[in-house]
Amino acid sequence: MKLTLPGFSTTPQHVCSLFRICGLKVALKSVGWQINHLAPEMRVLAYSACALASSISFDIAITGPSPQPESFADRSVFYPGADFRSYGVGRAPMFHALRERAISLACETRIQLEV
């Protein structure tokens, strides 16, 4: 699976010291962004980051067919009273699938038991 993190760079977690310390981005670059080539710990972290990013993403690969904003500053989509429920409905299956995959990988490799 080729991994991209649509929307992740716009989250507060993107600047979290955890990602700088563990070097997730560097590790992904070193394996050509092929998530399955990462070490188990990094693979779990990558899937977790993808799940988080999918929960706010407006990327068509995540939300499905829906109007795509140019950016979070796009006033044609983001305005007071805007209804974002259709985006949430579109995101839900991908978010749940990525979250379940991260949890499954963590359980398989017993990552959740490591301090």
Q: Tell me: the pLDDT tens digits for 48-87?
A: 888 888 888 888 888 877 777 877 788 888 899 988 888 8
Q: How far is CA 44 from CA 53, 79, 103, in A?
A: 14, 36, 8
pTM above threshold 0.85: no
**Which H or E run includes 61?**
helix 60-63
34: helix, strand or coil: strand
CB 87 within 8 Å of CB 63: yes
Cα separation, 115 vs 112, in Å, equals 8
* Amino acid type, 19: F
**Which H or E run includes 12?**
none
Q: Tell me: the pLDDT tens digits for 16-28?
A: 655 555 677 788 8
* Amino acid type, 10: T
